Amino acid sequence: MHPTEKTVRQFHESWDMRDPDRGAEVIADDIDFEDIARGERLLGKSGYKDDYNRWREAFPDGLCKIENVIVSQCGEWATVEFRNTGTHTGVLRSSLGDFAPTGKRAEVRYCSVMRVADGMVVEGRDYYDSATIARQLGLVD
C-alpha cells in the first residue's frame, strides 16, 4: 500500500474506531481543510476534532466505509470516496443552524481530496451533497 493511501485510510478509519486522536495523528498542525458543502474551513488538529465531535454528536452510531482510494501519480494527492451512515439521534449543528434529532437514518456519499506530505495530511477538501442529508432527515421536502 502506498504511504499516502495508508495516511488517508488512517484519517477516515478513525471514525469507525471512535478514535479522533488516531485521526489527528496524521493531521498537520497547520492543516487547511475545507468543508465545501458548508463553506467552512477547519484549521489544525483542533478544527478536525471539533468537526469530528459535531458529527459524532448528531450521529453517535455513525460509520464511514471507504469505497475507493486513488493516489496521484506523484503520490502527494489522494482522493477518497466513502459512504457515511448513521441515525440522527443527537443535535446536528450546521452553518444553517441547529437541528433537533429526527431519529431518521442517513446514508451519504462523500469524496475527500487530500494532500499528504511526510506522512501528514496538510491540505484537503470534503465534497458531499448536504441536500441529501437534509432530505433523508426530513428537514426539507
Kindly report, residue by residue over 116-131, the tens digit of the pLDDT.
999 999 999 999 998 9
Instruction: Report the pLDDT averaged over residues 52-74.
Output: 95
Q: Give strand ranges (E) for the chain.
A: 27-35, 40-43, 63-71, 77-87, 92-94, 97-99, 105-117, 120-128
Q: Is the whole model's pTM more than 0.75, yes or no?
A: yes
**93-12-35 Cα angle (round to 5):** 40
Kindly report, residue by residue over 77-121, the tens digit of the pLDDT.
999 999 999 999 999 988 778 999 999 999 999 999 999 999 999
CATH number belonging to domain 3-136: 3.10.450.50
Residue 3 has pLDDT above 80, yes or no: yes
Kindly report, residue by residue over 17-55, the tens digit of the pLDDT.
999 999 999 999 999 899 998 889 988 899 899 999 999
Any alpha helices (H) in 43-137, and if so which ranges?
A: 44-58, 130-136
In the prediction, which pLDDT does 27 show?
Answer: 96
DSSP state of 104: -
